[in-house]
Structure 1
Amino acid sequence: MKNILPRRQTLLAFIVGWVMLVFLFIFTATQFNLAELTALGLNVPFADRLATTVQDMVGGLSLVAAIFGFGFLIAMPITDVIARWVKILPHVAHALGGFTGVGVTLFALKALFEITPIGAARDMDGFIALCLSGAIAGYVYSALKARGQN
């Protein structure tokens, strides 16, 4: 009987990718929100940027980790199957899968709540930047997973 549970290296790669996703997502969202304040003419010193980022990490960690972790949990195995089926580079496939996973999760949140709950995702630049955090996380997952298979 084939073992359906992931190997330890795959699980570790997923956890590191997930942590990377959450960190980059919160960091990006915070910096986009602070950029909007700066555009309004408010000076935001580096110390305040750092303090706000740390506060957002602590305050939003569990919610962002749960919601976008669920999307990442769905995206990575689906990307594994697609990458094997299409036979494209797994790092590129997982980066695209991470990008798509974040995008689909953001669209799902908008559809469910009829608002954009993440302020940075309200314009296209912020949406793309948040999705890029998923792409980086997907790439990290793929690279660590491949490293464990050698």
Structure 2
Amino acid sequence: MTNILMVCLGNICRSPLAHGLLESKLPQDSFYIDSAGTGNFHIGDPPDHRSIAVAKSNGIDISNQQARQFKVSDFDAFDFIYVMDQSNYDNVIALARHDSDKEKVSRILKVVDNVGTKNVPDPYHGDLSDFEHVFSLLNNACTSISKSLLA
């Protein structure tokens, strides 16, 4: 079983979308996908209603996910840790105990060529179109990740 963790700030917008997207692209008997936030603002909350709506409009149900905070033990539990932006990367790396923890962490958009940015923008203060843009970025990244894992 390969375990993959998606991480953003609050675990209600970007990482739940990435979690649901990658989960939809990989066989669940071989891959376990989860998500977390670096902050503790939304622990126990469902994803943002706009993330749920955008995922649902694309045939993915993320409504049962619950926000949780990233913890040091996640380095032991997960093989790959994908973060949404440089700030998330810095926060996760700050908790790393050694180089093998750090080697598991990367920004999710690094797997996509010609995307123009390496940071997934936080759509929280935006509107539905911002969530749709994030979904598109993450869909491309998750497609690339799934192809490399299934190769």
Q: Which has the higher contact order (CA 8 A, sep 6+)?
A: 1
Band of TM-score, shorter chain: under 0.3
Whichever structure has more strand as a proportion of its residues is 2
Q: TM-score, normalised by structure 2?
A: 0.27
Larger Rg: 1
Q: TM-score, normalised by structure 1?
A: 0.27
